[in-house]
Amino acid sequence: MVLIPFAVFPSSIWYVCVAGIKCMYKQVYYEMVVRVVVLTFRNLLSKGTCGAQMVDLGLPQIIQSLKAQAWSDEDLLEALNQLEDGLKDNIKKLSSFDKYKQEVLLGHLDWSPMHKDPLFWRDNITCFEENDFQILRVLITVMDSSNDPRPLAVACFDISQFIQHHPAGRVI
C-alpha cells in the first residue's frame, strides 16, 4: 500500500474522493466498511478544508441516518458521534454572518449551510439592520436582475427567512 502525504493530495481530488465515499455510504451498509469510512472521515475532519467539504456534500444528514441504524460495534457508534460533533463545529464556522455578508455582497449566492440553518437566522437577524438594511437591498437586487436560477432561488429563500424571523420583517 502506498501512502500519499496529505499536503500532496490536491483539494479537487479530495472532493472527488469524498463524493465517491458519500455515494458508497448510500449503497453499502456493511458494518466493517462503514466503520473504516467513518473513522477515515473523523481523522480527516480537521485537515485543511476537508470538514467544510464534508458539510457541503451533505455528510451531516448521512451521519444522522447512520446513527439511526442498529450497529453492534461500540467504536463505530463513538466515531459517528465524534464525526457528527466535528461536522456541527464546521457548520458553526461556516455559518458566521460575516461569511454570509461577503457571499451576498459579492453576488455568489449558493446553498451554503447558513442559508438553511434556522439557528443562523435567529442569531443573526438583527445584523440585517446594518447600513440601512444593505444586505436585504442586495438580495432584492439579485431577485430583480439575476437570470441564473440558483442565486435567484437562494435570494428568494433568504428574503423569506428574513420576513419570518425579523420582528418587522413583513413591514420592511
Nearest CA to 105 among 141, 152, 70?
141
Domain, as residue range, for 119: 97-165
Q: How far apart are CA 140 and CA 145, in angstroms?
A: 9
**Backbone torsions φ then ψ of 80, nearest 5 degrees:** -60, -45
Of 79, 94, 109, the residue at which a domain comes to its end is 94
User: Residue 84: its pLDDT value, please?
Assistant: 94
User: Tell me: the pLDDT tens digits for 24-41?
Assistant: 555 556 788 788 888 888
pLDDT band, residue 86 (cuts 50/70/90): very high
User: Tell me: the pLDDT tens digits for 130-151?
Assistant: 899 999 999 999 999 989 999 9
Q: How far apart are CA 166 and CA 171, in angstroms?
A: 10
Nearest CA to 52 among 113, 119, 102?
113
Nearest CA to 88 among 121, 57, 52?
52
Is 148 contained in some domain? yes
Q: What is the pTM of this model?
A: 0.52
Is 129 contained in some domain? yes
Nearest CA to 114 among 92, 129, 134, 135?
92
Q: Are residues 76 and 113 in the same domain?
A: no
Q: Are residues 28 and 72 in the same domain?
A: yes
At a CB cut-off of 8 Å and minimum separation 6, what does 3 contact?
A: none
Q: How far apart are CA 44 and CA 6, in angstroms?
A: 9
User: Tell me: the pLDDT tens digits for 48-62?
Assistant: 777 877 877 778 888
Q: Are residues 107 and 90 in the same domain?
A: no
Q: Are residues 78 and 118 in the same domain?
A: no
Nearest CA to 67 among 88, 43, 91, 46?
88
User: Residue 7: its pLDDT value, please?
Assistant: 46
Q: State the average pLDDT over residues 149-162.
A: 94
